[in-house]
Amino acid sequence: MRIELTRHRLPELIALVEAIEQHDHAPFRTLPSELEDYFDSGLETESLGLVVDGVLAGYGVVRVPRDGSPLRCSGGTHPDFRGYGLGRMVVEFFDTAARRLAAGQPDATMEIHVDEGRDSLVDLLERAEFEPSGGYVQLRRDLSEPRAAVELPSFFRLVPWSDVKDTEVGAAYRETLSGLSDALESQFFVAEWSFVIVDGRSDRAKLAAYLLSHKYEQDWSAFGWSEGYTEELVVMPDYRGLHLATSLLNTAADSYQESGLEYAGMDISVDADGTSPMLDLFMHFGYEPIRSTTLYAKRVFPAGQPPLSATASGEI
C-alpha cells in the first residue's frame, strides 16, 4: 500500500532508517531529529510510504531547498522487503514528486547521494537515467601525528568563536558568516572547536578566515573512531597565501585532541570523475581518504518536455 508519510508515522520511519543503515553498513547514523525535519523544516516536501503487511517497508522524500539548489531525494527499503520492486517504486516516486514540486521550472534538477558499495542502488538509479555528477570524499587526520608549526603574520589574531560570539564584534562576524553558510545554525555546531582569524592592521578588525566545526557523535559507532568534523574552512580572497588555513586546521586539531578525540574529519567535493585539486592539498596537511560518496542527478523535465503548470497535481 502506498501512503503519504505524516508525523504520526515518525516512530516507524525512525525504525526503518535504523534498520537500513545497520544492514547497509552506512558510514553515518541519522538522528530522529533529522528525520523529524522532514515534517517540521518548513521546506516544501512530498513523501511516500510503502506499507507491506502493516509494516512500513520503504519510504521516499523529495524536498525543495531554500537556496534554489537541486531538489533533494532521500529514501530506502527495509532489508527484509528487498527484491520485490519497492526500490523501483521509490525511484519512480522521485520522478513524479519532483515534477510536481518543480512545476514551472524547466531547468530544475534533482539529486541523491549514494555511498560507495551500494551497487544495486546505482544500477536502479542508472536505469532511471540518473547520472553521476560529482560527490565528495571523506578524509580524516590522525590527531596523534605531529603538526607542522606556522606563525600568523603580524597584527593577525586567531580567536575561538566561543570568545567572540556574544560580543559586538562577534555579532558583526556572525552576520558575515551567516551570509556565507548556515553551519552556525546547525544543532551539531561546536563553538569551542570553531575559530576566526582577524586582521587587526586597521582600526576596525576585519574577518580574514574562519573554521567552523561540527560534532556528529551519532556517527562514531559507524566510523569505528571519534572525530571533530571541520564543516567550513574559508580564507577570504584578500588573505590567501598567508598560511591562515594551516593555522586554523592545526588549532582545530588541537581542540579536538584536547577533547579526547582520535581524528579530525572533513569532506572534500570532487568532480564527476572523482578528482579534485583539493585532495592533494589536504593530504599534504596529513589527511587520508577514507571513503567516497557519489552524487547522482537527473533533470526533472527531460529536454524538450514542457514543465507542468503551477496548478498541476497528482496522487501518490
On average, the pLDDT of the chain sits at 90
**235 pLDDT tier (thresholds 50, 70, 90):** very high
pLDDT higher than threshold 80 for residue 177: no
Q: What is the 3-state secondary structure (H, E, C) of 85-138?
A: CHHHHHHHHHHHHHHHHCCCCCCCEEEEEEECCCHHHHHHHHHCCCEEEEEEEE
**305 pLDDT tier (thresholds 50, 70, 90):** low
Q: Mean pLDDT across the stretch 85-105?
A: 95
**230 pLDDT tier (thresholds 50, 70, 90):** very high
Three-class SS state of 17: helix
Q: Mean pLDDT across the stretch 254-270?
A: 97
**307 pLDDT tier (thresholds 50, 70, 90):** low
pLDDT at 49: 97
**316 pLDDT tier (thresholds 50, 70, 90):** very low
Residue corresponding to grid cell 526533472: 300
| Rounded Cα distance, 163 and 90, in Å | 47
pLDDT higher than threshold 60 for residue 67: yes
Which three three-digit cell numbers place residue 269?
567535493
Instruction: For each of the domains in the chain, give its residue range(s) and CATH number, in order of start.
Output: 2-108 (3.40.630.30), 145-261 (3.40.630.30)
pLDDT higher than threshold 90 for residue 182: no
Q: Which residue has the higher pLDDT, 184 or 25?
A: 25
Type of residue found at 201 = R
**Contact in structure between 209 and 246 (CB atoms under 8 Å):** no
**Contact in structure between 113 and 295 (CB atoms under 8 Å):** yes
Q: What does 254-311 look like in DSSP terms, one character per residue? A: HHHHHTT-SEEEEEEEE-TTS--HHHHHHHHTTEEEEEEEEEEEEESS-TTPPPPPTT
Q: How far is CA 174 from CA 148, 236, 237, 286, in A?
A: 30, 15, 18, 30
